[in-house]
Homo-oligomer: A and B are copies of this chain.
Amino acid sequence: MSEVTVKFNPEATSAEAQSGAKLIEVASCSGIDISNLCGGQGVCGKCRVRIDKGRVKFSNRVIGKLSQKELEQGYTLACQSELQDSDVEVWIPPESRSDSLVQISDYVIASSEYISEARTFGIQSDPPIRPLCQKFYLQLPPPTLTDSLSDLDRIYREIRRNHPEIPSAIQAHFSCLWGLGDLLRRNKWRITVTVHFQDNESPQICAIEGGNTTKRNFGVAIDVGTTTIVVQLVDLRTGAILGAQASSNSQARYGEDVISRMIYACTHGGLAPLNDAVLHTINALIDSLVRKNRIRQQDITALVAAGNTVMNHLLLGLEPCNIRVAPYIPTANRFPQFQAAEVGLKGHPKAVLHCMPCVSSYVGGDIAAGVLACGMHEKPEISALIDVGTNGEIVIGNNEWLVCCSSSAGPAFEGGGVKCGTRAIPGAIEKVNIERHRVTYETIGHQAPLGLCGSAIIDLISELLMDGIIDQSGKFSLLDHPRVRVIDDVPEFIVAHADETLLGEPIVITEDDVSNLIKSKGAVLAAVKLLLKTLDMGFADLEKIYVAGGFGAHLDIEKSILIGLLPDIPKERIQYVGNSSLAGARLALLSTSAFRKAESIASRMTYIELSVHPEFMNEFIASLFLPHTDMDLFPSAKAALERKRKVRPVCAFA
């Protein structure tokens, strides 16, 4: 073995490494971020890099994933490339970044629109904003010989006098006493106390600052997704969203889904790197929001995280090992209040971290948050929440009962496992229309297209189906369409030509992509259908469906029904709510009673384990069709398809 130098561009960061080392690992150790959805298996093809100088040794998988042209240009997959004896220079294209903060600094506030709506459709009955941490400005009368209360009692007295709304059993955290005497006198008895309103406990003064800092009280809502992490900065005084940032969960380098991450965590020492990775991702997002909004890190006083049960465990540094094996037991579903700093998250040293309560090992705090945001737990009508993430979770119920289940959807709707898939970031194609040979599309931020986000993928499949370019099983049936080509025996549809795109390469959807997406939507639909069946209900019994997920700003409901992702009920009964997990986390940040409601939601929700249900596989297989093998379940889709067939040319191979 010899030592070689690897230079990563465009950063121009150099690293020394041993020959034989994998390029992706050298990058990771050097702090260079490369997308790695499949955990280095050579499957996702997301870690495409170009070798500009020197040579690496790569496995056969690279040949399956890259085109001849790409190979000729020097492209390879970082996870499948080993260093040899020569120094190398590597160029990492923007789309191979998992943590591309710069690109997403204007992360589609898409979901935010729905989030601000969440107050309207979710928690109308809620009291006014009462955030987890509130700041109060106090002007204390200086002590005299006849008014010689201690510094701390003087603060308590002032709170009692001027803030009767704060329970008098308020206590200061002991750390507030350190340096207090000096702080009070230096600031002429004008201070700001940060009060943490704890559930069922006396409120606690968690910080004391000099002067009036009440205007600087911020909270962070975190959607800890398996694939994508979204962080939102909230002004705790007003409830206003100051900004949101998203990034791939950098745990992805250790595995794409929760199962592979659990396996990694439970092998020797694997928990720490996974814990570090998620903390790193969240902290980078917080950092970026802090910088962009010109606030101080110590003005973040409260954080609320919503994630699935495994993500919560990995965030808090808890072993998820027993979640994976029967009887599937998490360390906790409801988590005590953590101190953000003790966990390793940024913010004020005494900032509090609440995790949204989970229901079971496979239905997490993101779902309790989602139900909270939709408010379905408060309404008499029977409604469903369908949250399509890497895991698909479905909740059905009303103000009297709630049942839920989980189904493995995969990351397809977040851009994973799709050749040109991407998250809903600027440049992502979010809408597609195919009118004969003409394709029109819209990108987020009206930028040159970069890839396909979830909503575009749904549009595409629906359009391809309606135009007869693919059949109901997802196979390409119109191979002579001018936008269809076959690469390495796999047909694909060109959405945007090379000259239109940001990267100068065409954006396509392949038959494999369609097949992946059908599996994803099939898993979701099968779960909805089976859950309804166990309740002795059908699609028509749902008076409302809330659809949540990171599809993008807009989700075409009709097209989602057409491909069989959503049940075929009148489209006005279906509402796309975007990132409901984040919305719920924000509500809990802004209202202690909302957090309490989430706990009650989680504790009264009944989890139904579908993976062991004897009928699940049948339902799944029946759903691997566009929209479904039982077309009578999808009357409107059936009608639309029949209508189209009449006016459109018959498919070449139909």
Residues of A within 8 A of B (CB): 143-145, 147-153, 169, 171-182, 185, 200-202, 316-319, 321-322, 326-339, 342, 360-361
Contacts and interface: CB of A to CB of B under 8 A. Distances in A.
Given A153-B332, A181-B329, 6 more contacts: A150-B330, A171-B201, A171-B336, A174-B335, A174-B336, A181-B318
Contacts of A329: 143, 148-151, 181
A337 B177 CA distance: 11
A604 to B, nearest CB: 14
Contact of A181 (B148, B150, B321, B339): B321
A169 B332 contact: no
Nearest to A323: B181
A173 B201 CA distance: 13
B171 A330 contact: no
Contact of A316 (B147, B177, B361): B177
A332 B177 contact: yes
A339 B333 CA distance: 26
A174 B201 CA distance: 15
A318 B178 contact: yes
Contacts of A338: 174
A181 B143 contact: no
A510 to B, nearest CB: 40
A333 B336 CA distance: 30
Count of identical protomers in the assembly: 2
14 contacts: A143-B329, A144-B327, A145-B327, A148-B327, A150-B329, A151-B322, A152-B334, A153-B333, A174-B335, A177-B331, A181-B319, A181-B321, A200-B202, A201-B201
Contacts of A182: 319, 321
Contacts of A332: 150-153, 177, 180
A202 B198 CA distance: 11
B331 A150 contact: yes
- Point out which of A171, A185, A338 has the most chain B C-beta atoms below 10 A from its C-beta: A171
B180 A331 contact: yes
- Point out which of A150, A178, A322, A328 has the most chain B C-beta atoms below 10 A from its C-beta: A150
- Point out which of A144, A330, A336 has the most chain B C-beta atoms below 10 A from its C-beta: A336
Given A201-B201, A317-B178, A173 B327 contact: no
Contacts of A143: 327, 329
A331 B151 contact: yes
- Point out which of A172, A201, A328, A329 has the most chain B C-beta atoms below 10 A from its C-beta: A329
B151 A342 contact: no
Contacts of A185: 322
Nearest to A318: B177
A107 to B, nearest CB: 30
A204 B262 CA distance: 30
A367 to B, nearest CB: 16
A200 B335 CA distance: 22
A316 B201 CA distance: 25
A193 to B, nearest CB: 14
B202 A172 contact: no
A337 B151 contact: no
Given A169-B200, A322-B181, A360 B148 contact: yes
Contacts of A330: 150-151
A155 B171 CA distance: 28
A334 B152 CA distance: 8
A535 to B, nearest CB: 20
Given A179-B319, A318-B181, A174 B337 contact: yes
Nearest to A607: B148
A306 B270 CA distance: 46
Contacts of A336: 171-174, 176-177
A132 to B, nearest CB: 15
A169 B151 CA distance: 32
Contacts of A342: 174-175
Contact of A334 (B153, B176, B328, B339): B153
Contacts of A174: 316, 335-339, 342
Nearest to A336: B174
Contacts of A322: 151, 181, 185
User: A-B pairs with the 7 shortest C-beta distances?
Assistant: A152-B332, A174-B338, A174-B336, A150-B333, A145-B327, A143-B329, A181-B319
A2 to B, nearest CB: 41
- Point out which of A147, A172, A330 has the most chain B C-beta atoms below 10 A from its C-beta: A330
B335 A177 contact: yes
A476 B339 CA distance: 67
Contacts of A200: 169, 202
Given A143-B327, A148-B327, A318 B180 contact: yes
Nearest to A178: B317
Contacts of A175: 342
Given A316-B177, A318-B178, A148 B339 contact: no
B326 A145 contact: yes
Contacts of A172: 336
Contacts of A152: 331-334
A317 B175 CA distance: 10
A172 B151 CA distance: 31
